[in-house]
Amino acid sequence: MLVFILVALSVLAATIPMFTFLGVVWWLDRYDREPIWMVALTFFWGAFGGAGLSLLGNTSLHLLIAGLLGAEHAEWMGPVLVAPIIEEPTKAAVLLLVAMSRHFDNTTDGFVYGAAAGLGFGMTENMLYFYQVSQVAGFDPLQGIASWLGTVTIRTFYSAVMHATASSLIGAAIGWSRFRSRPVKLLTIPLGLLAAMGMHALWNGLLTVGGVMGNEDSMLLINLVILPLEVLLVFAIFQLSLRAERRVLIRELTEEAEQGLIPSAHVAPLCSYFGRNSTRFLPAGLPEDAYIKAATTLAMRKHQVRQCPPAKSALYSDDVERLRREVAGILALPAPPPSTGSAS
């Protein structure tokens, strides 16, 4: 009965935190949030496509190394070398497709989609680990519960976060080079992939060395200190990408205000997260959310036109004109008549 309860709890412990983290990551992209369905699809690729291909690749290489070098070498090479080399590309493979979408604008979007793929992968991996540890309770209930709780804590707040952070680096590299030249892409994206592999290898490597040397607790403690510092560094880069996104909004919407499309008083609040939520742009009853979305997308499409090669600019230029008409149409809507309370 205890094992059954832990198995059921394993499903909840593997899914609920990852969906929560996914919602937080999506929310943090405060100026131009990605379509939730695309973020969800990326998440589920990590959970099923990335995890499935990784399992196949890890197993195949482990057997190959064991056959060539022996099982002892395969045991340490698997987590330290094979896992990062196999898992990071398979998690991130979907990002190459996502990057072809017009919704994928910049570095910030890359961070979001990359983290989504990593969180999906972390969910599936956690579920497998939680299930395995729960079986210990069938032989030793107290040890089983203690092991399960420890595994859930470490893997939820560290291992899964490592997967999300590592994948976000690949996404950021793809996003930063999205509209840059092919040589820049060929340099930047592999660097992002190497950074992700390095973070992954460091986490696994410290745990593996600790197990081999018999000081697993010490190595785990070092890992628990290093990983949050890495996450904070990546989060700082993410914040810089948000600042760059805000500068794009200011530049492009200021130009639209100078050309008379939007009132100049709208520029500052449109380019501020708090301004959007505290300033009333339009008369009550008009679609302010639609106005914010259209103005923001207009700014991003204009930025894409500036960056993309001339051969592709026509696609985004058409969007710019369509969005200008949409913004103008919203601003031209008649204000609804004031409501009159019914006489008592």
pLDDT at 192: 97
* Residue of higher predicted confidence among 192 and 274: 192
pLDDT at 177: 93
Amino acid letter at 181?
A: S
Asked if residue 140 belongs to a domain, the reply is yes
Asked if residue 254 belongs to a domain, the reply is no
- Domain co-membership, 117 together with 155: yes
Asked if residue 341 belongs to a domain, the reply is no
**HEC profile of 164-209:** HHHHHHHHHHHHHCCCCCHHHHHHHHHHHHHHHHHHHHHHHHHHHH
pLDDT at 341: 53
The residue-averaged pLDDT of 62-86 equals 92
Identify how many contiguous H helices and E strands the chain contains and give both numbers: 14, 0
- Domain co-membership, 232 together with 297: no
pLDDT at 201: 97
- Domain co-membership, 125 together with 186: yes
pLDDT at 45: 97
The residue-averaged pLDDT of 185-210 equals 95
Asked if residue 182 belongs to a domain, the reply is yes
pLDDT at 308: 78
Asked if residue 299 belongs to a domain, the reply is yes
pLDDT at 344: 40
Could you give phi then psi for residue 100, rounded to 5 degrees?
Answer: -80, -10
Is 141 a residue whose pLDDT tops 90? no
- Domain co-membership, 190 together with 295: no
Angle, alpha carbons 16-208-170 (nearest 5°): 55
Residue that finishes a domain, picked among 212, 242, 272: 242
% residues pLDDT > 90 (the chain): 73
- Domain co-membership, 308 together with 173: no
pTM: 0.92
- Domain co-membership, 6 together with 56: yes
Which residues contact residue 80 at a Cβ distance below 8 angstroms, ignoring those fewer than 6 apart? 201, 204, 205, 208
- Domain co-membership, 141 together with 230: yes
Question: For the chain, what is the mean pLDDT?
Answer: 91
Q: Which of 15-29, 135-149, 267-281 has the highest mean pLDDT?
A: 15-29
- Domain co-membership, 145 together with 293: no
- Domain co-membership, 119 together with 212: yes
Q: For residue range 148-182, list pLDDT tens digits in order.
A: 999 999 999 999 999 999 999 999 999 999 888 88
- Report how many domains make up the chain: 2
Domain of 323, in residue numbers? 259-332
Residue that finishes a domain, picked among 242, 267, 298: 242
- Domain co-membership, 107 together with 10: yes
Reported as a pLDDT band with limits 50, 70 and 90, residue 309 is confident
Long-range contacts of 213-221 (CB under 8 A, 24+ apart): 220/154
Residue that finishes a domain, picked among 183, 208, 242: 242
- Domain co-membership, 176 together with 94: yes
- Domain co-membership, 292 together with 202: no
Reported as a pLDDT band with limits 50, 70 and 90, residue 281 is confident
Q: For residue range 88-138, list pLDDT tens digits in order.
A: 999 999 999 999 888 888 999 999 999 999 999 999 999 999 999 999 888
Asked if residue 253 belongs to a domain, the reply is no
pLDDT at 343: 44
Asked if residue 339 belongs to a domain, the reply is no
